[in-house]
Amino acid sequence: MHRHNDPATAFSLEGKLAIVTGGGTGLGFAMASCFIAAGARVVVTGRRTDILEDAVSRLGENAFAEPHDVTDGEEASALLERIEKRHGAPALLVNNAGTHVKKRLEDTSQQDFQSILATHLGGAFSMTRAAVPLMKQAGGGSVIFIASMSSLIGMPQIVAYSAAKAGYLGMVRSLASELGPHQIRVNAIAPGWIETPMLKKALSGDPQREQKILSRTPQQRFGSPEDIGWCAVFLSSPAASFINGAVIPVDGGASIGF
């Protein structure tokens, strides 16, 4: 039986290696930062080397950049081999990389739809598939999928994104069931409206939309990126050792509020 009575170790990620996809900006950067604060070393991946290098310089000596395009599923195994060789076997993986298309159904092309699914579902699948054998060898691990409010509630003009984020929940449940016996836990975080550059851009010049979001969020404010970061730390830590297959909204109550 696992007992974690000491808060100093229950929430610690000391000695763990984490991989955060899309780790150079926004929520990915915040999660990487919180992981490092909890004692982990972190590999951030993404397509743009300049953004990754800048992130690593700000994150400090326990952060490492590995350029990777998650849509290139065939390259995921080579990436994980490279990471293991340079930094050791990962115990933690966060599937965070994603793209977004906001269009009406009639304006969403087949290519738009396929592209969103390839990045979110295809990317998360290939990264998890490549990382899990290393976690099995190491005796366990934690995989986190960054879901969305659109995994839980209906939102207009994002049919592809909603399909992908709902698909994450199916992957989480299936993998939690399959990998649990190997002590690999698989969970999801569903962020609400978090104050990131992406949100600011989406809301700029649209006070009506901002008011709508705040009015349906019981805490009547936006979240901070660190709210997601610390939830990811908790889910990856010994304190969460019996949490598997869960979807945790971090949304100020937006998904259940009236």
Q: Where are the domains of the chain?
A: 9-195+226-250
pLDDT at 2: 59
User: Cα–Cα–Cα angle for 19, 194, 59, nearest 5°?
Assistant: 40
- Which member of 161, 168, 193, 230 is catalytic? 161
pLDDT per residue over 97-148, tens digit each?
998 889 999 999 999 999 999 999 999 999 999 999 999 999 999 999 999 9
pLDDT at 15: 96
pLDDT at 1: 47
Gap between the Cα atoms of 226 and 205, Å rounded: 26
The DSSP result for 78-109, as a single string, is HHHHHHHHHH---SEEEE---------GGG--
Gap between the Cα atoms of 254 and 203, Å rounded: 17
Q: What is the pTM of this model?
A: 0.96
Nearest Cα neighbor of 147 from 179, 170, 177, 114 is 170
Q: Tell me which of 3.30.590.10, 3.40.50.720, 1.10.260.40, 3.40.50.1220 is the CATH number of domain 9-195+226-250.
A: 3.40.50.720
Instruction: Write out the two tokens for 240.
Output: 């969460």
Cβ count near 99 (within 10 Å)? 17
Cβ count near 91 (within 10 Å)? 22
Gap between the Cα atoms of 257 and 252, Å rounded: 9
Tell me whether residue 168 is one of the annotated catalytic residues. Answer: no
